Structure 1
Amino acid sequence: MGGHTSNYVPTSRWGKWLDERLPIARLMQSSFVDYPTPRNLNYLWTFGGILTVCLLAQIVTGVVLAMHYQPSDAGAFNSIEHIRRDVNYGWMLRNLHSVGASMFFLAVYIHIFRGFYYGSYKAPREVLWILGVIIMLLMMATAFMGYTLPWGQMSFWGVTVITNLFSALDTIYPGLGTAIVEWLWGGYAVSGVTLNRFFALHYLLPFVLTGVVGLHIWALHVVGQNNPTGLDIKQPSDTVPMHPYATAKDSVGLFAFLILFAWFAFFVPDYLGHADNYVEANPLVTPPHIVPEWYFLPFYAILRAFTSSFLGIPLGQYAKLCGVVAMFSAVILIAFAPWLDTSRVRSAKYRPIFKWFFWFFLFTCVALGYLGSKPAEGIYVIASQIFTLCYFLFFLAVMPIVGLIETPSRLPRSITDDVLSKGGTGLPTGATAAPESR
């Protein structure tokens, strides 16, 4: 796919001169105009472009907000209120940045679940998938540190609880976990030192994230996009140029997504937040219920599912360590999906058994998100343990076993045949794209 030819022709003497020395215009034409995309992509393939827009919006609003923010325990909370009340359009920038984080995670979760359903992790896209998981980990780290910056009650106690998880390593080697926690804090408790270093990392990581996104796009252009059938491109009629066909589709999806974004940002900007975060951080007063942002709730539920016992299995002093390992494993395990899935068919569209397990897995993740927002007591703990088990069984049992016993449905011969079987027409005028070359 990466070997397709470019139709770029410089139209001016200056353009020809630049093309011979730095063919950046040719690269852009080849990558974003002439690039062949499968002709049967649906709107779920819009979220890659949406995520790029979200990343750029977060960087731009974040840089401007950083100009007015004071990373100190004495001034952080007041500087946030100063931005909202006194800085020109500060209220809008702050709302766009905080709501933008939620929209960013919403888009990336849809992007990931689409990849699971259509088998976008299978060969030859393993590196592309792993880079995507690295992007998600960087997003989580950036969002966690950013959540600390308002220096409200939930921010302060959230960072205290999460960073203190490393103390679980004391059960492996005495003093190891405590040393790591104190190193992260920069002292013996969360303080202005912690806030200052988290602010520095929160400013840095989006640019690291941008670099990994560049690698992700590069890998995508080498192996080519997946599609709803999961079939490889076999003939020129299977593809259309990215512009205007894919860009028109992406523009419609982006416009719809921006409407949702704007509704939250301008009408209910605090709906996804917590009221306790409008109270300045106080190390002497603990909130009655500490919860992270909604996009961390499924993993938070997995963490809290490991109490003194897990589904009747006693854990004792290792409960905290088991919870920490399970929480991080829940993310890392996603990167191993290409090797855990034994099916030779990519798309769940043609996998009758796996399809139902996928929808149950999606329900499991939503249920874990709900349970993560509830107190760790009574039926909520038991339910969290059950759904945590279901989460890991999907990767460690369903993906390896179903691929061996399942009989897939009959696949179309090509992407073109799939389109024509649904009433589609022949290739649009001018839509001929170069076939992939390996």
Structure 2
Amino acid sequence: MSEHSTYIPGNGVEKWIDERLPIIRFSKEHLMDFPTPKNLNYWWTFGGILAIMLVVQIVTGVILAMHYTPNIAMAFNSVEHIRRDVNGGRIIQATHAVGASMFFAAVYVHIFRGMYFGSYKAPREILWLLGVLIFVLMMATAFMGYVLPWGQMSFWAATVITNIFAAIPIVGNPILELLRGGFAVGNPTLNRFFSLHYLLPFVIAAVVILHIWALHVPGNNNPVGVEVKSDRDTLPFHPYYTMKDLYGIVLFAIPFAWFVFFIPDILGHPDNYIMANSQVTPAHIVPEWYFLPFYAILRAIDFNILFIDSKLGGVIFFAGSIVILFFLPWLDNSKTRSGTFRPMFKWFYWLFVLNFVGLTYLGSAPAEGIYVVLAKICTAYYFIHFLIILPVLSRIETSRPLPTSISESVLGKAH
């Protein structure tokens, strides 16, 4: 029990529970009454949106698992059975499939918001590290989920992406065979991916709890990047931010519902509606859209780097593009958190966003001609931004004056 608690049980049942398991006290103190900066804008609602999306994916995933058959002879038809014959199956399957894309759309907004407003800076480094870990787990879960329908793109994406491990010296082939359950993608692969795809969302949920815990220790960052000075700078999370988050969730649900009800298959690749065939290779093997920036980086390294061959080089850059995010708190040493007060950082930040969008497009384009050259340029800039631009800006940039408090930034100096 908290020594400074203001919680008083409302009735005898609450008092009885509170004395044995103070869960209502905990939720009131750490969730409802949690002091939150009064100037948070709607970019901060994506944390709540992501929590809802995780619940949606777990619930729909558990229901789908009841009807899915993880066997290469029956997997494709079992998905069609869900869509056609299971009561509400079409909506549940569409919600899960579209939900993956909406989940990643929200997580990219959440990450880019954190990058712009410096939410990775001290004392929130562990909060950022846990967030990147959630992103990595999401990527692994989504990739394994993409294989389960056992369509053409499922099979060939699994073949190409698992082949990445073969490029790693010494341990690569044993890892590859362990992952596939044999020398090629087949029934053991599907069983492994189904098991892991079912398990990992619960691991993600556990890391999300740690992420929220790590948020509650230093408290929220805010658009001006100034720490809370007094109670005057904050509002209780409930009802102010629960209502604001709920409004953001409803707005987010509108395009989500539109995709689910009207065009549920538009985000899927046409080849994935053809049963997997190991004898017929698709013209262009592409992963889902949310993997495309990293897939473009993987394909951009088609040349040997000193003693490293192109295949291993591609894997190193592919892995490095994600691993580098873990080091962001130490690559950007600027004392000013918010990009709002960093005039030079702003330009480079938006150039990085544009570059990331470019990589997404190039990941879907064929690996030939001008697309290869542009992918190399965009890949180079991706790493230059983290390894050169951010450290240099930390030293040479002069930030604009910060407000003395959150209240000043909200109310103006006249107050």
Question: Same fold per TM (> 0.5)?
Answer: yes
Distance 2:153 2:221 in 1: 41
Distance 2:120 2:303 in 1: 36
Residues 5 and 30, structure 1, Cα contact 8 Å, conserved in 2: no
Match of 2:11 in 1: 12
Residue 179 of structure 1 and its aligned partner are, at CA, apart by 2.6
Secondary structure, aligned partner of 2:217: helix
Distance 2:390 2:6 in 1: 42
Letter in 2 for 1:341: D
Match of 1:58 in 2: 57
Distance 1:29 1:177 in 2: 50
How big is each residue's C-alpha offset from its partner over 1:194-242, in whole Å with a ceiling of 9 and x where there is no partner? 0011100000000011000000001101110000000100011100001
Letter in 2 for 1:196: N
Residue 270 of structure 1 and its aligned partner are, at CA, apart by 1.0
Match of 2:236 in 1: 241
Match of 1:413 in 2: 404
* 1:341 and 2:341 aligned: no
Match of 2:138 in 1: 139
User: Match for 1:397 among 388, 392, 410?
Assistant: 388
Letter in 1 for 2:61: G
* 1:182 and 2:181 aligned: no
How big is each residue's C-alpha offset from its partner over 1:105-128, in whole Å with a ceiling of 9 and x where there is no partner? 011110000000000000000000
Match of 1:376 in 2: 367
Alignment of 1:345-360 (within 5 A): 345-360=336-351
Distance 1:114 1:206 in 2: 24
Match of 1:227 in 2: 222
Match of 1:432 in 2: none
Distance 1:4 1:354 in 2: 44
Secondary structure, aligned partner of 2:146: helix
More off after superposition, 242-251 vs 57-66: 242-251
How big is each residue's C-alpha offset from its partner over 1:302-358, in whole Å with a ceiling of 9 and x where there is no partner? 00000136xxxx668611111111111111111111100010000000000001100
More off after superposition, 25-34 vs 176-185: 176-185
How big is each residue's C-alpha offset from its partner over 1:129-177, in whole Å with a ceiling of 9 and x where there is no partner? 00001000100000000000000000000000000111112xx34xx42
* 1:327 and 2:318 aligned: yes
Distance 1:252 1:279 in 2: 40
RMSD of aligned C-alpha atoms? 1.5
Residue 8 of structure 1 and its aligned partner are, at CA, apart by 2.1
* 1:203 and 2:198 aligned: yes
Distance 1:49 1:330 in 2: 27
Normalising by structure 2, we get a TM-score of 0.97
Gaps of 5+ in 2: none
**Identity fraction in percent:** 60
Match of 1:45 in 2: 44
How big is each residue's C-alpha offset from its partner over 1:389-409, in whole Å with a ceiling of 9 and x where there is no partner? 000011101111101100000
Secondary structure, aligned partner of 2:134: helix
Residues 342 and 401, structure 1, Cα contact 8 Å, conserved in 2: no
Secondary structure, aligned partner of 1:240: strand
Match of 1:130 in 2: 129
Alignment of 1:106-185 (within 5 A): 106-169=105-168, 172-173=169-170, 176-185=171-180
Secondary structure, aligned partner of 1:223: coil
Secondary structure, aligned partner of 1:161: helix
Residue 422 of structure 1 and its aligned partner are, at CA, apart by 8.9
Distance 1:268 1:90 in 2: 16
Residue 14 of structure 1 and its aligned partner are, at CA, apart by 1.4
More off after superposition, 117-126 vs 325-334: 325-334
Gaps of 5+ in 1: 427-438
Change (3 A) 1:107 1:422: farther
Residue 260 of structure 1 and its aligned partner are, at CA, apart by 1.1
* 1:100 and 2:103 aligned: no
Letter in 2 for 1:64: I
Distance 1:362 1:90 in 2: 37
* 1:291 and 2:286 aligned: yes
Letter in 2 for 1:319: S
Distance 1:52 1:207 in 2: 13
Residues 4 and 35, structure 1, Cα contact 8 Å, conserved in 2: no
Distance 1:235 1:14 in 2: 35
Distance 1:226 1:239 in 2: 12
Distance 1:357 1:422 in 2: 30
Secondary structure, aligned partner of 2:36: strand
* 1:278 and 2:273 aligned: yes
Residue 185 of structure 1 and its aligned partner are, at CA, apart by 1.0
Distance 1:139 1:339 in 2: 24
Change (3 A) 1:345 1:153: same
